Amino acid sequence: MEITEQQVAEWMVQEIKFRGILHQADAIEYIRNHFGEEFVFVNEKGNASLSKEVKKAFRKLHGGKVAWDRDGFFWGWT
């Protein structure tokens, strides 16, 4: 069965609902190991980031209930 961006986004939302926050580094590591390298890329600053497709599915799924903390590099339930 092929894993989709939607499944990755669903995992992220569930983690944030359950834990309250999800650190980007933890998310990247988990997604790489459990879903695959294709959902992660290295941006122009040399940092690992989520694919645009995952981010799009994630935003659509949480519908504004999750906020990004720029200083702490994590998502939090609002």
Domain residue ranges in the chain: 5-73
- Residue-level pLDDT at 1: 75
Confidence of residue 57 (pLDDT cuts 50, 70, 90): very high
From residue 30, give the alpha-carbon distance in Å to each of 25, 37, 44, 63, 64. Answer: 9, 10, 22, 23, 23
Kindly tell me if the per-residue pLDDT of 53 is higher than 90. Answer: yes
* pTM of the predicted model as reported, rounded to 2 decimal places: 0.93
The pLDDT tens digits of the residues spanning 1-44 come to: 799 999 999 999 999 999 999 999 999 999 999 999 999 999 99
